Structures are given as C-alpha cells and as structure tokens.
Chain A
Amino acid sequence: MASESESGAAFSPRNFLASRTRWHALEIVFWLSTLLPFVLVPDYLQLASQIAIAALFAISLDLILGFAGIVSIGHAAYFGLGAYTAGIVSKYGVSEPVLLLVLAAIVSGTLGYVSSFIISRFRHLALIMITLGICLMLYEVANLTSWLTGGADGLQGIKIGPLLGTFKFDLYGKTAYAYALVVLFLCFLVCRRLIHSPFGLSLRGIRENPVRMPAIGAPSDAHIRKIYTIAAVIAGMAGAVLAQTTSTVSLEVLGFQRSADVLVMLILGGAGKLYGGILGSIVYMVARDQFSGINPQYWYFWIGLMMVLVVMYLPNGLLGGLEKLTRRWRGKS
C-alpha cells in the first residue's frame, strides 16, 4: 500500500485519503471471522462479548492516545460513568438496551466535553495526573453516594429488557456477543471514517507537534476537545454494554486497574492504528482467561513482563511487529 500512494503523478491529498479508506481484503476477512465464535466456540460467547467490549474501550482510548497523543491513565472515568448510567436508569423502568446505550453515551459525552476544556490545556505530567485525578474523583463520588450506586457492594436491582423488545440476554451470551459485536462494528466504522478524514490527519499533526499545527490553520485545542468528547462517548457506550450484558456494575468499572488494563491492551496491540486495540484486547483477554485459570494471583506478573518487553522490543505493538515482518518478507521475495 505504501508504494501505491507514493508513486508519483496521482498523488494528492484527496487521493491519499481515498486510498486509505479503501477496504483491504484482510480487514474483510477479519470482520467475517468475528462471527466464527458463534459456531466454533459457543461455550465461550460470554468471553467473546467481554473481548468485544474491551476492544471498543481500547478503540476509544486509541482515538485520544494513538492519534492525538493525549496520554490518559484515567480513561475508566467515562467507561464507568456509562456503566453506572445504564445500570441506574434501568432501575427506574427504562429497560430497552438501545435507549440505555444512547443515554449512557450522552452522559459520558457530556462529562468528556466538560473535562476536555481542562485536558486540552495541559501536557506531560500535569496531563497524566489530571486524567488520573478526574477518574479518582469519580470513583470517590460513586463510593460515597451509596444510596444511588450501592457503593462498595455494587449496584443492586439492574433490570435489562430484551434487545429491541425481542432478543433476550441468555445464559450462553449469544445475544450479548451479537449485541456487543454490532456496537463495536458500528463504532469502528465511525472511527475509521474519522481518522481517514482531514480532521483525522490534523489530529496526527497535533500528536507530532501541537504548537505548530495552529500555524497551518488547525486549531489544536478545538480539535483535542472534539476528539476527547468522541472518545468519551465511545467509552461510555462500552461501559453501558458491559453493564447490560453482565447485569452488574461495581466500583471496579471506575478503578485505576481498568484504566491500566485498557492501556496495556492498546499498547500491546499497537497504538495509532484502530486494529491495534482490537488485536491487543483479544490477546490480553484470552491470555487472562487462560493464565488466571492456572494461577490467578500471579497473572499480573506476566502482564507486567509483557508490558516491559513490548515497550522495550516492540515499540509499535504486536501489529507494528507484524507489519515489519511482512515488509521484510516482501522485500526478500
């Protein structure tokens, strides 16, 4: 693909973007293969839906971290807010999952929009600490308002109705996986369109140099606010889907651990390319499922080791490593 876009006369910004938006055969194969769990591993559909949710959350983080270069170690704030919104509203009689999803997206998006005014002003350590601080504050609020959220005991009495009035969430997770997969795919389409637009390109410019971008007419702060809000919306939807498919919401959805986990998934797969987050969450969740079966206590040792090795030897994640391998292989043959 690289040689295609570099070869001479036809090169223009429009053609460049168009060449990027074209669907690669591998992508189509990948999305078709996400349907395989229905037939191949019907016992693991719950896990598959968890993976789809994690992938959605990772994509949301990728938008701000991979593309706009905003390092956040408190992204669970929006995930948790979405989960709590869906859970709490469902207690008061609204049980249609799609409606709850939209509500959660709106609430998370609002918080994202408000906090984006703070986020866009800072960089480096202050930024990392403020993202963490916002998440910690939400955690404390959820912990303290136990009349609303159930506090440390978790939210009680969530009632999720059948999807679109017809499909019930069953024990095997068939509906859950289908639902999570559809939400993931739709959000993915939006993000894919977004990052291959001029807006997406200017985000990458901001990542490389936030000071220089305004000079060529791309207001860094406004762009960061937009993408941060979008990312919050998607994270909120991921949280809502988790609340609906598992019918549980606990404080853990806002915890530092969750922010760290999604960061690991994204980096493991490769930041700055949408598929990185998806691949990372598949590898991470499957590995966790397998390892924690053997010895749950020491699972974090292997995760830690994996992170250290990825940072030191695979700077662009698994996907970056794969790309490098294929390029080398093509170069030789």
Chain B
Amino acid sequence: MLGSMAGILFDGFAYGMLLFLLSVGLSVTLGMMNFINLSHASFGMLGGYVTVTLMQQLGWPFLATLPAAFVISALVGMVMERFMFRRMYRATDLDQTLLTIGVVFMSIAGAAYIWGTVQQPVVMPDYLSGSFLVGGVNIARYRLFLIVVALVITLLMIGGLEWTRFGAQIRAAVDNQRMARGLGLDVDRTFSLTFSLGSGLAGLGGALAIAMVGLDPGFAFAYLIYVLIVVSVGGLASIWGSFVAASLLGICDMAGKYYVPQLGSFLIYLMMVGILMWRPVGLFGKR
C-alpha cells in the first residue's frame, strides 16, 4: 500500500515535471509578456518532430537532438514573432486567441502534410530506458531524467530572471514598456528574444515529452489544454507557480487514474475550475 502510494507520487511527480517542461515556455510568453499564446503546444510539437526526424533520418543520439529542438523552435518562434505576433501585443484577448488558434490549425495540417498522421516511433537509448527498484518503488530511468531536467530548468529560469542582466531587461520591458524605452532599452529586441526563449523551451519540452506521450499531429491540441491549465492555475508570470501547479496536477491526475479510474480527466478540469474560482489570478499570480 505504502509502496504503491510512493510509486504514484513518483510517477505523478514525473508526469507533473513533463507538464512543467511543456508549459514553462508559456509562462514566459503568456505569463510575462501577457500574450494569449494558444499556439504554444504547436512549438512543442515542432520540437518533438525535430527530435524524431534527426534521430531517424540522420541517426543523431537522443541527447544531441535536444539542443537542436530548442534552437529550431526558438528560431521559428522568433520569425513568427517578427512578422505576426509583434503586431498583436496590443490587440484584444479575442484577437490574440483567434490568431494563435489559427496558427494551431495550420501547424496541425502542416505536420500531417510533412510527417503524416501516424504516431511517430520514439526509441530511447539504453541508458534512459528500463527501471530500477529503490525501497520497493519502481523508478523508471527516463522519468528520473525528466525530473532532473525539470529541476535544472527551474533553477536556470528563476536564477536567470532574477540575477542576470537580460533577466532584468525582460522584467523591465514587461513591467513598464514606456519606462523601459525611456531608459534606452531596446524593448522590441528584448521581446523578440523573450518570445523565442519561450518557443525554444516549448520545443525542448516537446522533444522530452514525446517518449512518454507519443507524437502525432493531434499533439498541438491535446497538450494545449494541459499547458493552459498549468499556467493559469500556477499564476501568470510565475515560474515557481507553474512548477507547483504542474506537480499538483501531475500527482492528482496519476492518483485519480489509479484510485478512481472511472472519473478520468474530470478531476483535473474540476480542480482547474475550482482553483480559478477561488483565485482567478492563479495560485502564485500577482495581477
């Protein structure tokens, strides 16, 4: 009993970290830049396809494809920001919602066109597959790897935003654009870099997620809902909030599926609506 509970906790936490990796980029673009970016999971999907393609066509090792997934998604994000999203920062919620849903539709059809609608096979290297026992709890290597990566990224993001020059520039540009411009900051450039950082993180998250959740063109919609839940529950602009919300959701989802499987995903949605009704700005949101 206790062992199974610890197992659920571990698996749930690992699943939560997967959600966190997928959504941390969104707490940058939606959270900090206040841009309702529903196309976030599309960037995740792009990262996933980059990894799969590099591994299958060019025989790259899995770990080497991760930076590539980050860089390519970031570049695509930067180009799209320059030509599309930049003009929409001041638009209404509705326009941003629609524009980005449009991008999601295009990405799904585009992925179906290039890679087909079938599930992409993802073969992990030996050192990341399999599992081992610790005190009666079955620890899958890949899940442990996800947790470690997520913790490293959390530290890098929080530290980077708090203590680096670029982090300070981002915070200034997001908090008060006019003031930041007045102080001589190149706000357009900062926003462009921030957006591509968010997109790159999405790509990295997608590349890491596909080994556990699979990859087909439906990815962009299926995980959009999850990342939105994580970010809105965690609170905008809060990396730490996303981290907490993602772990909570992951563990609740796992526990729900184990103990009350007949409820399915209902529990997660109920939890989201409940938390948002209690705190509309999310658990750690300020605005």
A-B interaction: yes
| Chain A residues with a Cβ under 8 A of chain B | 65, 71, 73, 118, 121-122, 124-126, 128-130, 132-134, 136-137, 140-141, 143-144, 256, 260, 263-264, 267, 271, 297-301, 303-308, 310-312, 315
Q: Do residues A144 and B97 form an inter-chain contact, with CB atoms below 8 A?
A: no
Q: For residue B95, which residues in chain A have a CB less than 8 angstroms away from its CB?
A: 311, 315
Q: Do residues B276 and A130 form an inter-chain contact, with CB atoms below 8 A?
A: yes
Find the A residue at minimum CB distance from B276: A126
A263 to B113, CA, bound (A): 25
Q: Do residues A118 and B117 form an inter-chain contact, with CB atoms below 8 A?
A: no
The 5 closest A-B pairs by CB, nearest first: A304-B105, A307-B102, A301-B109, A304-B106, A126-B280
Find the A residue at minimum CB distance from B104: A304
Question: Which of B58-66, B150-158, B200-208, B265-273 lies at the interface with chain A?
Answer: B265-273
Knowing A256-B225, A312-B87, the reply to whether A263 touches B272 (Cβ < 8 A) is no
Q: Do residues B102 and A306 form an inter-chain contact, with CB atoms below 8 A?
A: yes
Q: Which of B210-259 contact A (CB under 8 A)?
A: 221, 225, 228-229, 232, 236
Q: Tell me whether B140 is interfacial, beta carbon within 8 Å.
A: no
Q: Do residues A132 and B228 form an inter-chain contact, with CB atoms below 8 A?
A: yes
Q: Do residues B272 and A129 form an inter-chain contact, with CB atoms below 8 A?
A: yes
Nearest Cβ distance between residue A34 and chain B, in whole angstroms? 27
Q: Do residues A311 and B264 form an inter-chain contact, with CB atoms below 8 A?
A: no
Q: Do residues A297 and B276 form an inter-chain contact, with CB atoms below 8 A?
A: no
Q: Tell me whether B112 is interfacial, beta carbon within 8 Å.
A: yes
Q: Do residues A299 and B109 form an inter-chain contact, with CB atoms below 8 A?
A: yes
Q: Tell me whether B75 is interfacial, beta carbon within 8 Å.
A: no
Interface size counted on chain B using CB atoms at 8 A: 44
Nearest Cβ distance between residue A6 and chain B, in whole angstroms? 27
Q: Do residues B102 and A304 form an inter-chain contact, with CB atoms below 8 A?
A: yes
Further 19 A-B residue pairs, CB within 8 A, beyond A71-B93, A136-B265, A144-B263: A118-B277, A125-B30, A125-B93, A129-B229, A133-B276, A136-B269, A137-B270, A267-B94, A297-B113, A298-B113, A300-B105, A300-B108, A304-B102, A304-B106, A304-B107, A304-B109, A307-B102, A311-B95, A312-B99
Q: Tell me whether B36 is interfacial, beta carbon within 8 Å.
A: yes
Q: Tell me whether B281 is interfacial, beta carbon within 8 Å.
A: yes
Q: Helix, strand, loop or mixed for chain B's interface?
A: helix
Contact residue among A121, A136, A263, A297 (Cβ-Cβ distance under 8 Å from B101): A263
A65 to B93, CA, bound (A): 11
A303 to B117, CA, bound (A): 18
Q: Tell me whether B164 is interfacial, beta carbon within 8 Å.
A: no
Q: Do residues B269 and A305 form an inter-chain contact, with CB atoms below 8 A?
A: no
Q: For residue A263, which residues in chain B have a CB less than 8 angstroms away from its CB?
A: 97-98, 101
Q: For residue A308, which residues in chain B have a CB less than 8 angstroms away from its CB?
A: 84, 99, 102-103, 106
Q: Do residues A133 and B97 form an inter-chain contact, with CB atoms below 8 A?
A: no
Q: Do residues B106 and A301 form an inter-chain contact, with CB atoms below 8 A?
A: yes
Nearest Cβ distance between residue A127 and chain B, in whole angstroms? 8
Q: For residue A141, which residues in chain B have a CB less than 8 angstroms away from its CB?
A: 266
Q: Do residues B93 and A128 form an inter-chain contact, with CB atoms below 8 A?
A: yes
Q: Tell me whether B144 is interfacial, beta carbon within 8 Å.
A: no
Q: Do residues B262 and A144 form an inter-chain contact, with CB atoms below 8 A?
A: yes
Find the A residue at minimum CB distance from B95: A311
Q: Tell me whether B172 is interfacial, beta carbon within 8 Å.
A: no
Q: Do residues A140 and B98 form an inter-chain contact, with CB atoms below 8 A?
A: no
Q: Do residues B113 and A307 form an inter-chain contact, with CB atoms below 8 A?
A: no
Find the A residue at minimum CB distance from B87: A312
Q: Tell me whether B160 is interfacial, beta carbon within 8 Å.
A: no
Q: Do residues B102 and A133 form an inter-chain contact, with CB atoms below 8 A?
A: no
Q: Tell me whether B121 is interfacial, beta carbon within 8 Å.
A: no
Q: Tell me whether B136 is interfacial, beta carbon within 8 Å.
A: no
A-B contact pairs, 15 of them (CB 8 A): A71-B94, A118-B273, A121-B277, A132-B225, A263-B97, A263-B98, A264-B98, A300-B105, A300-B106, A300-B108, A304-B102, A304-B103, A305-B106, A311-B88, A311-B95
